[in-house]
Amino acid sequence: MSAGNPYESSLAASPVTAARRTMTLKQIDAISVGRMLGVFYGIIGLLFGAFVSLFALVGIAAGGEGNALVGVIFGIGAVVIIPVLYGLGGFIGGIIAAVLYNACASLVGGIKFELE
């Protein structure tokens, strides 16, 4: 182990044993979590909206009762509205979750995890 690198371990030189290091996640950037979950939930909303649209259009094609134009607007609108609402909910929920995590981590010290 060289004196210049505190992260270097004598275990790293061995091909059989890898070095492990325990770290603690003490704080999360709330906006980055919000962006990530906003995009993630937006993609899920797009998939869900596609299914809603498909079912609405199948219902119209099957000759369901009611106004067909309303069904078409609802079916096509689901592909736009549902992903936006899911994405917005994921963004806001991600920010709230990160702020709550940061508050709890300041009290109990965060989550410990091991890197290899």
The predicted pLDDT at position 9 comes to 56
Whether 103 has a pLDDT exceeding 90, the answer reads: yes
Please give the average per-residue pLDDT across 60-65, as a whole number: 71
Give the residue-averaged pLDDT of 34-60: 90
pLDDT given for residue 88 in this prediction:
97
d(CA 31, CA 85): 18
Q: What digits encode the pLDDT tens for the residues 13-22? A: 555 566 888 9
Average pLDDT in the 82-106 region? 96
The secondary structure of the chain as a DSSP string is --SS-TT--GGGG-SS----EEEEE----HHHHHHHHHHHHHHHHHHHHHHHHHHHHHHHHTT-SS-HHHHHHHHHHHHHHHHHHHHHHHHHHHHHHHHHHHHHHHHH--EEEEE-
pTM of model > 0.85? no
Query: Given this model, what pLDDT does residue 77 score?
Result: 82
